[in-house]
Homo-oligomer: A and B are copies of this chain.
Amino acid sequence: MTSNITALQWLEAAKHRRSVYGLASTSKISKEEIQKILEETLSFAPSSYNTQPTRLTLITGEKQREFWNAIQAVAEPILRDFGESVWAQMGPRFEAFKGAHGSVLFWESEDSIKMSQQFHPAAAHMFNEFSDHTNGMHQILVWTALEIAGLGANLQHMQALPGVEDAIKKFCDVPNDWKLKAHLNFGDEAQEHPPVPQKLEYSKTLQVL
C-alpha cells in the first residue's frame, strides 16, 4: 500500500487534467521541478518486457517560441493550401502555442523497437503497438503531474502534417531513429480550468461479465 492516498483519490487527482489552450509564458514551477517530473515518470513507467522505447525532450523559455516558429515555417504553407479559412483558425492557435512556457516531446526509439524484436522474436509483430501503449502511458503521467502541479497543458500532433516531424527533429537535433509521437505544450493557466468533455454512456464502453 502507498502512503495515504486511496485509489479513488488518485483518480480524482488525475481527473483534474484537461486540455487547456489558454497558456501563459510563465511557469509557477521551476525548470528543475518540471525535469524532475519527467525523470520520475521515466523511473517507473512500464513497457512490455521493460524494453523502454520512449524518449522525452523538454523545451522551455525562449526556445519555446523558436521551436514553434520552426514548426510554423513548414505547417503554415500546408494549412494555407487547405484554405485560408483553415489558416484563419489555426494562425491564432499557433500564436497561443508560441506564447506557452514550454513543451514536452514524446518520441519512440525505432532502434529500441528493432532490438526488442530481435530479443523476443515470438512477439516481434507486437512491439510497434506496445510502444504506442507505453508512449500513451508516459503522456498521461507527465500531463497529469504537470496539471496537478498547477500548470495547464494541451497535447498536439503537428507531425500529422508532412515535413513537420523532420523540422522538429532538426530543431532538437535528436538521433535519426527517434519518431515523434506527441507534443505537450504547457504553462501557467491563462483561462478558467475547462470542464471534462461529454463522454459516452458506460453501457457503450464497459462490459461487466
Contact = CB atoms under 8 A, between A and B. Distances in A.
A141 interface: yes
Interface in A117-153: 122-123, 125-126, 129-130, 132-137, 139-141, 144-146, 148-150
Contact of A145 (B11, B17, B208): B11
B63 A46 contact: no
A36 interface: yes
A50 B42 CA distance: 26
B209 A40 contact: no
Interface residues of A, number: 81
Contact of A182 (B133, B145, B181, B197): B133
A89 interface: no
Interface string A43-64: 1111010101011111110010
Nearest to A174: B207
Nearest to A133: B136
Contact of A207 (B17, B46, B48, B58): B58
Contact of A205 (B54, B59, B132, B146): B54
A172 interface: yes
A68 to B, nearest CB: 13
A13 B150 CA distance: 18
Given A37-B8, A133-B182, A122 B13 contact: no
Interface string A3-19: 10111111111111101
A147 to B, nearest CB: 8
Contacts of A41: 11
Given A8-B36, A35-B208, A42-B199, 9 more contacts: A10-B145, A15-B43, A17-B46, A35-B206, A50-B197, A58-B208, A82-B122, A137-B140, A172-B207
